[in-house]
Amino acid sequence: MEKRGSETDDSVVYSDIGGMTWSSTHTGWRVNASWPFASIRITPQRLTFAVQLWKPVRALFGLADSTLRRNQQFVLQKELVSGIHPRRGFVSTGLIFEHCSSECPQFVKFFTFHRKSLITELRRQGYKVVD
């Protein structure tokens, strides 16, 4: 569900529910959370991704990566986001977030049913979306 709010510096101006793929911190394996187990929140200062992993998935990947949690949250500060790249798969649409944050997985892809709205809000907040 997309949502718009007020535009003060630390308030969420847009949020969406979707899916997410990211690289595991220690193994480099890609972990996937399908819709509706991921969300994105946009503020003028940062992007916050939240993921809930299904218990068996967490157990399987947790054997190789002890940092993997059932409820994950990744925060990207705006100044560390170098580009956002729209991607279209066979049945999904998403965005790849290119960044230089050591606090966030190197590979982050968010899938959404509201890609145009998400791109519009990212641009409105000054994030660099590369077509």
In CATH, the number for domain 3-124 is: 2.30.29.30
Confidence of residue 68 (pLDDT cuts 50, 70, 90): low
The structure tokens 């790249």 sit at: 85
Biggest CA pair distance of the chain: 42
The structure tokens 């100044």 sit at: 79
Please answer whether residues 45 and 9 qualify as being in contact, where contact means their C-beta atoms are separated by less than 8 angstroms: yes
- The token pair at 93 is 């649409």
Please answer whether residues 82 and 64 qualify as being in contact, where contact means their C-beta atoms are separated by less than 8 angstroms: no
Q: Percent of the chain having pLDDT more than 90?
A: 53
Give the tens place of pLDDT for each residue, 41-57.
Answer: 999 999 999 998 765 55
Where in the chain are the domains? 3-124
Give the tens place of pLDDT for each residue, 85-99.
Answer: 998 877 778 999 999
